[in-house]
């Protein structure tokens, strides 16, 4: 079978990549595009290590054929930092001690981003539901849930500060 050219926005940049017809997005990201923050754990959509954001939704990229990303927006962990500065969610995970071996962390952070983009002030139950597809074998989940709450608060504060600066000529 011939490779197919797929076009999508990856971390804010338009790209085109030739892929095999049944190649999974996780493999394309890791092997063709060298974005190794997307981890391959189980390869069956059970662990969440390969989570990326596809058109605003957290998805297991090991279960998504790359051709399904054609015309879509894809965000990986590498797309969160700006100018060498951690995204507030990444910083919250560090500050809360929610990172141990780090294997699950990119997926946890991207699941958190998808949640907070839709629901800036989630309840504990909503956090648990959003992270239900992500397995951590090291920390337990208390610090991870605390990191999500910390991130939500930081993002809200940033938004409030930007709004106030706009109102008052900052």
Under 8 Å between Cβ of 148 and 115: yes
Per-residue pLDDT, 99: 92
d(CA 109, CA 53): 10
Q: Tell me the chain's radius of gyration from C-alpha atoms.
A: 17
Q: Taking a C-beta distance cutoff of 8 angstroms, is the pair 33, 18 a contact?
A: no
End-to-end CA distance of the chain: 58
Half-sphere exposure for 49 (CA within 13 Å, toward CB): 17
Q: What integer pLDDT is reported at residue 139 of this predicted model?
A: 73
The answer regarding whether domain 4-79 maps to CATH 1.10.287.130 reads no
Share of the chain above pLDDT 70, in %: 96
Q: What is the mean pLDDT of the chain?
A: 94
Mean pLDDT of 12-40: 97
pLDDT tens per residue, range 128-163: 999 999 999 887 799 999 999 999 999 998 888 877
User: Do the Cβ atoms of 130 and 122 come closer than 8 Å?
Assistant: yes
- What is the Cα–Cα distance from 157 to 160, expressed in whole angstroms? 5
What is 88-168's CATH number, 1.10.150.120, 3.30.2350.10, 3.40.50.150, 1.20.210.10? Answer: 1.10.150.120
Report pLDDT digits (tens) over 91-135.
999 999 999 899 999 999 999 999 999 999 999 999 999 999 999
Which sequence spans correspond to the domains of the chain?
Answer: 4-79, 88-168
């Amino acid at each position: 079978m011939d490779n197919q050219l797929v076009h999508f926005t990856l971390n804010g940049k338009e790209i085109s990549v030739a892929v095999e017809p049944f190649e999974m997005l996780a493999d394309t990201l890791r092997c063709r595009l060298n974005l190794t923050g997307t981890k391959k754990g189980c390869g069956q959509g059970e662990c969440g290590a390969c989570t990326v954001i596809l058109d605003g939704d957290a998805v297991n990229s090991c279960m998504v054929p790359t051709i399904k990303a054609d015309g879509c927006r894809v965000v990986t962990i590498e797309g969160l930092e700006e100018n060498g500065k951690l995204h507030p969610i990444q910083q919250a995970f560090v500050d809360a001690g929610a990172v141990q071996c780090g294997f699950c962390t990119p997926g946890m952070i991207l699941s958190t981003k998808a949640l907070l983009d839709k629901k800036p002030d989630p309840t504990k139950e909503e956090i648990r539901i959003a992270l239900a597809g992500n397995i951590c074998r090291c920390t337990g989940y208390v610090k991870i849930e605390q990191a999500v709450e910390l991130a939500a608060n930081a993002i809200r504060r940033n938004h409030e500060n930007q709004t106030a600066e706009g109102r008052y000529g900052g």
